[in-house]
Amino acid sequence: MERNERNDLSSLYGQIAQIGEDGDLHLLVAKTGVIDDGSEARDLQQSQADVVVLSAADTELALLAAAHSARQQAGETLNIRLANIIHLKHHLSVDLYIEKTLSRAKLVIVRLLGGKGYWPYGIERLAELATTGTFELAVLPGDDKPDASLAGLSTVPEDICYAFWQLLSEGGSHNAELFLKGIAQHLAGDDNIPAPRPVLRAGIYKHATTIVASDAPTVCIVFYRALMQSGDLASVDRLIHDLTNEGLKPLALYTVSLRDPVCSETVRRLLRDASPSVILNTTAFATSKPGQLAAGGLLAELGVPVLQVVLSSGSKSAWHCGTNGLSARDIAMHVALPEIDGRLLTRAISFKADSRYDVNTEYAIVRSVAVPDRVAHVVKQVKSWCTLQRTPRSKRKIALILANYPNRDAR
Same domain assignment for residues 218 and 123? no
- pLDDT for 26: 45
Structural domain span for residue 58: 24-187
Residue 129 in domain: yes
- For residues 245 and 295, membership in a common domain is answered with yes
Write down the pLDDT at residue 257: 93
**What does the alpha-carbon distance between residue 74 and residue 238 come to, in Å, rounded to a whole number?**
35
Q: Domain with 267 in it: what CATH number?
A: 3.40.50.10140
Residue 398 lies in a domain: no
Query: Do 53 and 140 have their domain in common?
Result: yes
Name the nearest CA neighbour of 234 among 130, 132, 367: 367
**Pairing of the two strands 202-206 and 218-224:** unpaired
Which of the listed residues 161, 187, 213 is the one where a domain comes to its end? Answer: 187
| 149 and 101 co-located in one domain | yes
Give this prediction's pTM.
Answer: 0.82
Q: How many domains does the chain have?
A: 2
- The answer to whether residues 30 and 177 belong to one domain is yes
Type of residue at 363: Y
Structure confidence at residue 200 (pLDDT): 94
CATH code assigned at 70: 3.40.50
Q: Residue 294 has what pLDDT?
A: 58
User: Are 111 and 230 members of one domain?
Assistant: no
pLDDT by residue, tens only, the chain of 411 residues: 444 454 544 444 444 333 333 334 445 556 554 555 566 899 999 999 999 999 999 999 999 999 999 999 999 999 999 999 999 999 999 999 999 999 999 999 999 988 899 999 999 999 999 999 999 999 999 988 899 889 899 999 999 999 999 999 999 999 999 999 999 999 999 999 999 999 999 999 987 656 678 899 999 999 999 999 888 999 999 999 999 999 999 999 999 999 999 999 999 999 999 999 999 999 999 998 776 655 678 999 999 999 999 999 999 999 999 888 999 989 999 999 999 999 999 999 999 998 899 999 999 999 999 999 999 999 999 999 999 999 999 999 989 888 777 776 655
H helix intervals, 17-117: 58-73, 91-97
Note whether 256 and 175 are same-domain residues. Answer: no
Does one domain contain both 212 and 140? no
Task: Quickly count: other Cβ atoms within 10 Å of residue 266's Cβ.
Answer: 20
- Does residue 399 sit within a domain? no
- Same structural domain, 125 and 246: no
Whether 16 is covered by a domain: the verdict is: no
Task: Transcribe 309-377 into DSSP letters.
Answer: EEE-SS-HHHHHH-TTSS-HHHIIIIIIHHHHTT-EEEEEEEEEEEEEEETTTTEEEEEEEE-HHHHHH
Please check whether residues 76 and 107 belong to one and the same domain: yes
For 135, 194, 320, 378, the CA distances from 190, given in Å and listed in that order, are: 17, 11, 50, 52
The whole-number pLDDT of residue 23 equals 38
Residues 245, 140 within the same domain: no
Q: In terms of domains, do 379 and 247 share one?
A: yes
